[in-house]
Amino acid sequence: MAQSLKENTRLVPVRAVSGVAKAVLVWFLFAVVYGADQWVKHIVESTMLPGESITVIDGLLWWRFYLNSGAAFSMGENSTWIFTVISTVGAIVTSVLIVRSRALVWTILLAILAGGIVGNLHDRLFREPGFGRGHVVDYISVPNFAIFNIADAAICMSMACIVLLTFLGYRLDGQREISATTVQGKKEEA
Is-contact 117 123, C-beta < 8 A? Answer: no
- What backbone phi and psi angles, to 5 degrees, belong to 13? -70, 145
Q: Is 37 a catalytic residue?
A: no
Catalytic residue, chosen from 37, 123, 138, 173, is 138
3-state helix vs strand vs coil in the chain, percent to 5: 60, 20, 25
Interhelix angle for 104-126 vs 19-47, to 10°? 40
DSSP string, 157-177: HHHHHHHHHHHHTB-TTSEEE
Catalytic residue list contains 58? no
Catalytic one of 37, 58, 123, 152: 152
Alpha-carbon distances of 159 from 63, 83, 107, 172, rounded to whole Å:
24, 17, 13, 14
Catalytically active residues are 138, 152
